[in-house]
């Protein structure tokens, strides 16, 4: 199974999952320019919650890889045409660059998500990608011909969209510039082509949503099964993991009177253990106030070992407070490894 570290380090592994651009919208809505295809450096930075300088530095380090996946820089006549055809239609809402403009396709934005280390949004995107990769490797294929047909249809849709966006629309742009007698008719035709291109993208996105796991469908994979649990089921799952790793006197205390502790136990070597469980959606994060509350509960119960187990990431502040308070933050990635059989070091 591909790990997050391998994904961050290997361009080859990143290239194997770049077609899953739909995960961007699962984590957070990605705003696009009026052409419906690109975003600017500032828009990429806003999506990932980082500075534009961080994106520029990443672009400088990985320019070749990002360019292969749809990043381009417009200058001169190309920039003038883009400003005239696209940005001029929304002059108040988008920057008007003077000398150059870097644009990113959805594929290159996903590429950035696999390169950014200090972004919770990027980390959540990688979590989704790793879950999808796990499902693809473990789900049995009952009907290979149908799967192959669906993949072929998706490639055809993408190819048509690519041709419309990169060939047909620019051709209309050139005709509009060269023609005076039929300018309005050509503009109307171009608008129609762009509308078809947009509908194809929407159709492809709807198909992906329909084919993706839902709560009323059987889910495959370690994390997918936990995402389908309710709070009590998740606490029982964590209790099972504790027993598997040698803990004794494991008691699930969850409820309104748990006073901040969901599970208590003794480690295999006799230390007192307190556990807080949070089954949150993968796109959310555990924040510092939640960890601070658990620090107080840990002190109240005089626990020697404390675990904060969550199905989502922790913010940087939350991780720092956990470390200062002697709490082991079991984030989504670590929880996946633990559930798959790897023991937690703190319990040994």
pLDDT in tens, 60-76: 999 999 999 999 999 98
Residue 20 pLDDT > 60, yes or no? yes
Mean pLDDT over 106-121 rounds to: 92
Residue 153 pLDDT > 60, yes or no? no
Average pLDDT, the chain: 79
Mean pLDDT lowest among 6-15, 177-186, 263-272, 306-315:
177-186
Say whether both 6 and 126 belong to one domain.
yes
φ/ψ region of 261 (left if φ > 0, alpha if ψ in -120 to 50, else beta) reads beta
What is the tally of structural domains in the chain? 3
Q: How would you classify the pairing of strands 248-252 and 263-266?
A: antiparallel
pLDDT number for residue 273: 92
Name the residue with higher pLDDT: 303 or 240: 240
Say whether both 210 and 116 belong to one domain.
no
Range of the domain at 272: 222-347
Say whether both 276 and 319 belong to one domain.
yes
Contact 90, 29 (CB under 8 A): no
Say whether both 242 and 199 belong to one domain.
no
pLDDT number for residue 296: 82
Say whether both 231 and 338 belong to one domain.
yes
Say whether both 207 and 268 belong to one domain.
no
pLDDT number for residue 23: 87
Name the residue with higher pLDDT: 126 or 255: 126
Residue 321 pLDDT > 60, yes or no? yes
% of the chain beyond a pLDDT of 70:
74
β-pair partners for 327: 306
Residue 309 pLDDT > 80, yes or no? yes
Domain boundary among 185, 219, 253: 219
> Could you report the per-residue pLDDT of 29-47, keeping only the tens digit for each?
888 887 778 889 999 999 9
Displacement of CA 136 from its chain's centroid (Å): 17
Say whether both 7 and 24 belong to one domain.
yes
Displacement of CA 123 from its chain's centroid (Å): 7
In sequence order, the 6+-apart residues with CB closer than 8 A to the CB of 100 are 73, 74, 75, 79
The pLDDT-based confidence of 178 (bands split at 50, 70, 90) is low
Q: Angle at Cα 91 formed by Cα 88 and Cα 94, nearest 5°?
A: 105
Mean pLDDT over 124-151 rounds to: 60
Mean pLDDT over 256-272 rounds to: 81
> Could you report the per-residue pLDDT of 207-248, keeping only the tens digit for each?
555 444 444 433 345 777 787 788 888 999 999 999 998 899
β-pair partners for 104: 39
Say whether both 83 and 118 belong to one domain.
yes
Residue 160 pLDDT > 70, yes or no? no
Domain boundary among 184, 219, 254: 219
Say whether both 109 and 48 belong to one domain.
yes
d(C-alpha 5, C-alpha 54), whole Å? 20
Name the residue with higher pLDDT: 134 or 337: 337
b/e map 277-304, b = 16+ CB within 10 Å: bbbeebbebbebebbeebbebbeebebe
The pLDDT-based confidence of 109 (bands split at 50, 70, 90) is very high
Say whether both 57 and 156 belong to one domain.
no
Say whether both 6 and 131 belong to one domain.
yes
E strand intervals along 76-220: 100-105
φ/ψ (deg, to 5) at 179: -110, 140
Q: Give the alpha-carbon dihedral of 315, 320, 326, 328, to 10 degrees.
A: 30
CATH code assigned at 286: 3.40.1350.10
The pLDDT-based confidence of 258 (bands split at 50, 70, 90) is low
The pLDDT-based confidence of 169 (bands split at 50, 70, 90) is low
The pLDDT-based confidence of 185 (bands split at 50, 70, 90) is confident
Domain boundary among 70, 105, 135: 135
Mean pLDDT over 308-325 rounds to: 90
Name the residue with higher pLDDT: 342 or 164: 342
Residue 16 pLDDT > 80, yes or no? yes
Q: Angle at Cα 1 formed by Cα 285 and Cα 134, nearest 5°?
A: 65
CA count, 13 A, side-chain hemisphere, 196:
15
Mean pLDDT lowest among 10-19, 248-257, 279-288:
248-257
Say whether both 130 and 1 belong to one domain.
yes
Tokens 């159709």 sit on residue: 203
């Amino acid at each position: 199974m591909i790990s997050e570290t391998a994904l961050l380090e290997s361009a080859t592994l990143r290239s194997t999952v770049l077609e899953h651009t739909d995960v961007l919208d699962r984590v957070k809505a990605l705003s696009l320019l009026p052409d419906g295809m690109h975003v600017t450096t500032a828009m990429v930075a806003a999506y990932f919650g980082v500075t534009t300088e961080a994106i520029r530095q990443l672009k400088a380090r990985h320019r070749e890889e990002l360019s292969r996946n749809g990043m381009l820089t417009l200058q001169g006549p190309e920039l003038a045409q883009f400003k005239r055809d696209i940005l001029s239609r929304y002059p108040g809402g988008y920057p008007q660059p003077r000398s150059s403009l870097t644009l990113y396709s959805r594929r290159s934005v996903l590429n950035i998500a696999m390169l950014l280390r200090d972004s919770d949004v990027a980390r959540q995107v990688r979590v989704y990608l790793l879950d999808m990769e796990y499902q693809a490797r473990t789900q049995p294929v009952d009907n290979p011909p149908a799967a192959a047909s669906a993949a072929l249809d998706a490639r055809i849709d993408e190819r048509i969209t690519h041709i419309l966006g990169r060939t047909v629309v620019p051709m209309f742009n050139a005709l509009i510039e060269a023609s005076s007698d039929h300018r309005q008719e050509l503009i109307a035709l171009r608008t129609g082509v762009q509308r078809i291109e947009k509908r194809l993208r929407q159709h492809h996105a709807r198909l992906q949503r329909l084919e993706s796991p839902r709560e009323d469908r059987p889910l495959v994979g370690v994390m997918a099964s936990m995402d389908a649990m309710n709070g009590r089921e998740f606490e029982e799952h964590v209790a099972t993991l504790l027993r598997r790793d040698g803990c004794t006197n494991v008691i699930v205390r969850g409820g309104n009177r748990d006073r901040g502790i969901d599970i208590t136990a003794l480690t295999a070597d006799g230390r007192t253990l307190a556990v807080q469980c949070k089954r949150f959606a993968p796109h959310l994060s555990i924040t510092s106030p939640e960890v601070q509350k658990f620090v107080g509960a840990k002190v109240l119960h005089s626990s020697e070992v404390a675990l904060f187990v969550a199905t989502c990431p922790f913010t940087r502040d939350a991780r720092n407070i956990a470390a200062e308070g002697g709490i082991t933050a079991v984030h989504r990635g670590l929880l996946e490894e633990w559930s798959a059989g790897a023991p937690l070091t703190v319990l040994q």
